[in-house]
Chains A and B, each alone.
Chain A
Amino acid sequence: MTRTLYANGKTGQVFIYAGTQDPQTFDRPRGETYNAIHFHSDLSYLGSSQVVEATITHPKRQKGEQTDDKFFGLLETDPYSVPLQGTHEYILGKHSAGVDAPFVSIYNGAQIPAGSIIQKVEESVRAVSLFLTGGEVRVFENWATFEHSLPAVTRTYKVYLFETLFEPSGRTSIRMLPDRFTAGFGKLDTNYRYIRETDTPDLYLSVGRSADVDGGGWKTSSPDGASVTTASYSGGFVGAPGRGVKV
């Protein structure tokens, strides 16, 4: 199909679209026109800002002392370990993307929702969420032990932070230099690293749910196919498909 590159001498807008329609069709990108637009200076784009990757050793979490205290005596006839739980934070690395930057978390090569379990010994669990402060990427751990201790475990986390190009910069419609190309007030710039679809993705983007609850349990199913299910989950959740992108 024909591709059209159009630059408006009055407004400075630049757009590239599929087809040969009147350029005025794309003066104001919206709804139905999105399906034909390859680039538009009024739209906002996503680029890779930073990739933070680190390996963390989570320490052993000891199970509670054994007791036959009558506190639980009604339904427990054997001694049991007092249930314990706690939290801890770890610094994964520095970032400069801003505290509200969009980001995607990867654990052991899988895209994980916040609150995912990263270690399980029988019913004792260790779950994490990755989060941003103003300058750091951190891991929040919540652990709970019942009849089994959680041994120390080493886990590698990777976080892709995205930069968003919302605001136009300067007055240049199109400029070509030997070492740089810019168009659309800086929205298209060879100095920028745009994410693009690929068959060998670093991560997936999706529009649907990635977890469900049923029968008292839960299941996560990420667009990359990774899944975690608690034993009591009784539903049929399969997750939503995603589109893979390279950073």
Chain B
Amino acid sequence: MSFFASNDRIEVTDTNGETVFDTTTPMPFITTEIVTQVMHTFPDSGDEPQYQITKTRPPFDSKPVGTCSEIRCDDDDAADPCYRVEWDPEWIRAWNKVLPRDHISTYTIGSIDAGYEPDFLLATGELVRVKAGRQKDFGAFISSVPQGERISVDGSIVLETAYEIGGPAWLSRVMSVYVEGNSVKAEFKHSNVAYESRLEYRDLAGCYGKQSEGATPLPDDLSSRWEISFRILVGKFTP
């Protein structure tokens, strides 16, 4: 062990000669400990029913086939694929379309002294997905967060993801812990593009002057609720 002190430096080494403390090397220390809980609900993104009439009777059988967000059962319009006098039940298909949405919510979960800027956070958390968002075709969104277990949440973590079949993610959610001014913040951020469900609903009654309730696709419920218990150490490096 050695203790060395000069006018501009103080250094301490252990019995192996390893430096334990040196004023020329910045060393992290803890200024604040925050223990708190946050609950957040990611909202649903909204839905739009989608319909398609695949076939029709003469004399309208040359009409275009297209996708509609509403089927109007009234006098026919030869150019409008969504306008029908009538159809047979097996000629209509219905499915749900999730609308695109971006969402961000920020919570102040702690405060720190004025007069200095923290250099780091060391954060752990126990996360519980109380309610899982889900799509009716593939089920609950994928989450790699072990429920109720203590994970590191330094910076950010990926909470939930949903993928297209054979394609990229269409929905993602992350949670971040960071410093802003004299506050420690927890931010929940969501992004989804439009998604058309692979789950198809068949019309059972047809349209004879009135839209059938049996053809209305059920909405997807994207809302998730998370409860998080944090332990956050706010720290700074020595000069």
**Interface, chain A (partner B; CB < 8 A):** 1-3, 5, 16, 18, 30-40, 43-46, 70-76, 80, 83, 85, 89, 99-105, 113-116, 122-123, 125, 127-133, 138, 140-142, 144, 146-147, 162, 164, 166, 176-181, 188-198, 205-218, 220, 222-223, 230-233, 240, 242-243, 245
Residues of B within 8 A of A189 (CB): 20
B239-A129 in contact (CB<8A): no
**Interface, chain B (partner A; CB < 8 A):** 1, 3, 5, 7-10, 12-15, 19-23, 25-31, 33, 52, 93, 95, 100, 102, 113-116, 118-124, 137-138, 142-146, 149-159, 161, 163-174, 176, 178-179, 187, 189-193, 196, 198-200, 231, 233, 235-239
- Of B31, B146, B155, B158, most A-chain CB atoms within 10 Å: B155
Interface of B is mostly: strand
Q: Given A3-B23, A212-B189, A213-B172, A188 and B144 touching (CB < 8 A)?
A: no
Q: Given A75-B198, A215-B193, A217-B172, A113 and B115 touching (CB < 8 A)?
A: no
Additional A-B contact list (16), CB under 8 Å, known A18-B239, A164-B233: A3-B23, A34-B115, A73-B200, A114-B151, A114-B158, A115-B145, A180-B15, A196-B26, A206-B155, A208-B155, A209-B156, A209-B187, A211-B174, A215-B191, A216-B193, A218-B169
Docked Cα-Cα span, A232 to B194, in Å, equals 12
Q: Given A105-B152, A113-B158, A114-B153, A123 and B93 touching (CB < 8 A)?
A: no
B193-A176 in contact (CB<8A): no
Docked Cα-Cα span, A31 to B32, in Å, equals 11
* A146 touches which of B163, B178, B189 (Cβ 8 Å): B163
Q: Given A194-B21, A218-B172, A2 and B8 touching (CB < 8 A)?
A: yes
Q: Which residue of A lies closest to B229 (CB)?
A: A100
Docked Cα-Cα span, A44 to B168, in Å, equals 45
